Chain A
Amino acid sequence: MNEQSRVKINQLPTGVPGLDEILGGGLPEFSFNIIAGSPGCGKTTLAHQFIFANATVERPAIYFTVLGEPALKMLRYQQQFTFFDASKLNNAVRFVNLSQELVDRGLQGVLEEISRQVEAANPSIVVVDSFRTVLRSEMHNGKDMAVQTFVQQLALLLTSWEATTFLIGEYSESEVRDNPVFTVSDGLFWLFQQVDRNSVVRKMQVMKLRGQASVPGLHTFRITEAGLQAFSRTLGLLGQRKTARSIKRLSMGIPALDEMMGGGIPEGDSLLIAGSSGTGKSLMATQFLAAGIRAGEPGIAAVFEERPNEYTARASEFGLDLQTPLADGSLEVIYLRPLDLSVDEMMQEILDAVKRTGAKRLVIDSLAGFEMALAPAFRADFRESLYRMIFALTAIGITVLSTLEMPETFTELLFSSYSISFLTDDIIRMRYVEIDGELSQIMMVVKMRRGAHSREIRQYQITTEGIVIGARLKNYVDLITGIPQPLAVLHSEDLLLNRKI
């Protein structure tokens, strides 16, 4: 069927931030939907958000309550949310209790009363809460129609009257199969509450949505005083990375390091700075941000181990003024330690900050702190989540620098404890070495995906001016083990051995 003859399905805004994106643009108008889930997972709140976002006096919403939560209590609690607009009550949003009809006349009575109300009010939205109690009630046994007939007639009635419908019910996943309610529905939204150790995370799944492509999978959501906020798994950022013919290089704020990296970090790359505690990873990240600010490139620091004022105060100790850009809005420091965070929420925070600041550079300091801030349930998927996040951010041209604390061993050189080096385009490794009875620091550029880089192992120092990179350590071997051997010693041992031979 060509574009012109195909019926256009209007999409209604859900009123839930992030959910329209998950649904593929909004909820199809006149669709017959089910919101399912266990008690307390946010079904009623989701329906309320939708009706308050869409109902008008001309095309009101009718909210039928049955044998579930008493309407007075529902109003008592729902009005606590900021989306609740009391001025819409009884004109744009009407509540009707059907308990008596169900008790007296069963499903037939419920259907007749819904028909009567719908024909009288011409609603654009109809909600039945809880639909499960309508069907579960044994009061209608022997009195009237079968459940399947009731559901089909209800769907027919509400669709004919051009109403977008939500049936709310406490269902378990095992009930999906062969259930007439789910068969008839156009949309099926499942809300979950998952308990993992001491934390609870909320997730939703669009199990079915006729007429349009929704984002598959489980999406995190949170309930705040503003109601539900959903976080799409992809956050709509599935685009391809920009492939500019000439890759712009961004300065790291350390000239010798730019040189080692072949002219700086390619714009839109993800760089991992790995090293043990005290090697200067955070300082390098701060210098990277400060260099961006100097170049007119706004930045964002997502920090988990110190507060924003501590972060800027520490930068000032190295002569880096982050307080001014923080005040003028060209720098944002995001500090999150809720311990039940999801990566998607973090992404949303970052994307909001990108919109506010026009940021080109992002620092995540550190990945270990980030992982710790996540709810235990999300830590299991940390690598996958990190992959999605970094891919999404670099796809929109953000250059991402992450720091990663590594356990220091003096026998081998680890690049990452998470096996996430494949997630990053570039890797810089910093570590301690013992030289001439002193603890020194060395760094090397291990990987640059989009260009040539120096293979040198350079000594560096942390000074009041920041990181100062010194010369290549030419007179040692086994530097990367942390316990190098002076070449002179090896030569003399060689000579000795040769003489013996």
Chain B
Amino acid sequence: MADVHAVSRVCDKLRRPLTTLAGAAGFRSLLARALTLAKQESPVLGAWEVKPDGSLKGLNGEAAQSGAVLIAHLLGLMITFIGESLTLRLLHDVWLDLPRSEIKPGRKESE
């Protein structure tokens, strides 16, 4: 079960490679879109916001459990844009010991 800090750490870890790839504005747009999608699924995330630098604010403990939904949507967006293979490659650069079978996106690439 994700806590607020874990969600924040994951987003921060993803921010570096994604900012390198897509620029700060690119990463912020992606995270903002993921948060919008996550809020539709988990209204408890209503207070969460993406700051101009791409970090999260307004994280509250009650919504922490839904933080995983945000991460899932962020990864889902990456898969939508660049495909599962490249997304996994980026994630492996961040989490070197991540098993390849660990990522099971809910959204198909074609969606």
User: Which residues of A are in contact with B by a Cβ distance under 8 Å?
Assistant: 65, 70-73, 75-76, 79, 86-87, 89-90, 95-100
Q: Apart from A97-B22, A99-B26, what are 9 other A-B pairs with CB-CB below 8 Å?
A: A70-B26, A71-B22, A73-B81, A86-B85, A90-B90, A95-B20, A96-B21, A98-B23, A99-B25
Residues of B within 8 A of A86 (CB): 83, 85-86, 89
A86 to B83, CA, bound (A): 10
Which of A65, A71, A76 has the most CB atoms of chain B within a 10 A radius of its CB?
Answer: A71
A-contact bits for B1-29, CB 8 A (1 contact / 0 none): 00000000000000001011111111000
**Contact status B22-A72, CB under 8 Å:** yes
Interface flag for B93 (CB, 8 Å): yes
- Tell me the smallest distance from the CB of B3 to a CB of chain A, in Å: 29
The interface residues of chain B lying within 8 Å CB-to-CB of A76 are: 81-83
Shortest distance from the beta carbon of A442 to any chain B beta carbon, whole Å: 65
Interface residues of B in 54-111 (CB under 8 A from A): 78, 81-83, 85-86, 89-90, 93
Of A90, A99, A100, the most chain B CB neighbours within 10 A belong to: A90
Return the chain A residue nearest B81 by Cβ.
A72
Distance of A65 Cα from B22 Cα, bound (Å): 8
Please tell me if the beta carbons of B21 and A72 are within 8 angstroms of each other in the complex: yes
Q: How far is the CB of B8 from chain A (nearest CB, A)?
A: 22
A72 engages B82 (CB within 8 Å): yes
CB of B21 within 8 A of CB of A95, answer yes
A14 smallest CB distance to B (angstroms): 24
Q: For A95, what are the chain B residues with a Cβ–Cβ distance below 8 Å?
A: 20-21
Supposing A76-B83, A79-B82, A97-B19 touch, asked if A89 and B89 sit within 8 A by C-beta, the answer is: yes
The 3 closest A-B pairs by CB, nearest first: A97-B23, A99-B23, A72-B81
Q: How far is the CB of A484 from chain B (nearest CB, A)?
A: 72
B65 to nearest A CB, angstroms?
Answer: 29
**Residue on A nearest B25 in the bound complex, by CB:** A99
A222 smallest CB distance to B (angstroms): 25
Q: Which residues of B contact A73 (CB under 8 A)?
A: 81
Name the CB-closest residue of A to B20.
A96
27 A-B pairs with C-beta separation under 8 A:
A65-B23, A70-B22, A70-B23, A71-B21, A71-B26, A72-B21, A72-B82, A75-B81, A79-B82, A79-B85, A86-B85, A86-B86, A86-B89, A87-B89, A89-B86, A90-B89, A90-B90, A90-B93, A95-B20, A95-B21, A97-B19, A97-B21, A97-B22, A97-B26, A99-B24, A99-B26, A100-B24
Tell me the smallest distance from the CB of A345 to a CB of chain B, in Å: 31
Q: How far is the CA of A105 from the CA of B25 in the complex (A)?
A: 16
Closest residue on chain B to residue A97 by CB atoms: B23
Are A72 and B26 in contact, with the CB atoms below 8 A?
yes
Binary contact track B26-60/A, C-beta < 8 Å → 1, others 0:
10001000000000000000000000000000000
Chain B positions within 8 Å of A90 at CB level: 17, 89-90, 93
A72 to B19, CA, bound (A): 11
Q: Closest CB of chain B to A100's CB: distance in Å? A: 5
A65 to B18 alpha-carbon distance, docked (Å): 13
Complex Cα spacing A72 to B28, Å: 13
Which partner residue on chain A sits nearest B89 by CB separation? A89
B81 → chain A closest CB, angstroms: 5
Q: How far is the CA of A101 from the CA of B90 in the complex (A)?
A: 23
Interface pair A79/B83, CB less than 8 Å apart: yes
Could you tell me the distance between the alpha carbons of A97 and B17 in the complex, rounded to whole angstroms? 10
List residues of chain A with CB within 8 A of the CB of B85. Answer: 79, 86
- Minimum Cβ distance to chain A for residue B30 (Å): 8
**Which chain A residues border B25 with CB–CB below 8 Å?**
99-100
A89 to B85, CA, bound (A): 10
In the complex, residue of chain B having the shortest beta-carbon distance to the beta carbon of A99: B23
Cα–Cα, bound, A221→B18 (Å): 34
Q: Determine the distance from Cα of A72 to Cα of B18 in the docked complex, in whole angstroms.
A: 9
Q: How far is the CA of A406 from the CA of B23 in the complex (A)?
A: 64
